[in-house]
Amino acid sequence: GVSPVSPIHVYTQREVYGTVGSRVTLSCSFWSSEWISEDVSVSWHFQADGSRDSITIFHYVKGQPYIDDVGSFKERIEWVGNPRRRDGSIAIHGLEPTDNGTFTCDVKNPP
């Protein structure tokens, strides 16, 4: 059988500006007509300006934040979200010029 799927609406800021060395919050709020389950997951991806490749820089799964500990965002990402408040936001510390690019927030709410 096919299980019914209901959408999650995800909202982010279109553009975020920050100065080198400062901290910026990337907000991601979401809404679903369904109850937000304990298994809700949030992933953040980054595509550098001029690059075709997107990398995953952050995961929130089963109530735990998992921060990329290798790439250029190593030790600079902070989980500031709260799924119970439908918030999947992260903060990036120590902004660098190479942080310019597209950040994507992806939320899944398994039944």
Q: Is the dihedral of CA 10, 11, 15, 17 positive or negative?
A: negative
Give the span between the Cα atoms of 68 and 46, in whole angstroms.
12
Q: How far apart are CA 66 and CA 56, in angstroms?
A: 11
Question: Considering the entire predicted model, what is its pTM?
Answer: 0.89
Top-confidence residue, 98 or 5: 98
- CB–CB of 54/104 below 8 Å? yes
Domains plus CATH for the chain? 16-108 (2.60.40.10)
Question: Is 106 or 110 the better-scoring residue by pLDDT?
Answer: 106
Per-residue pLDDT tens digits for 42-85: 999 999 999 999 999 999 998 999 987 778 898 899 999 999 89
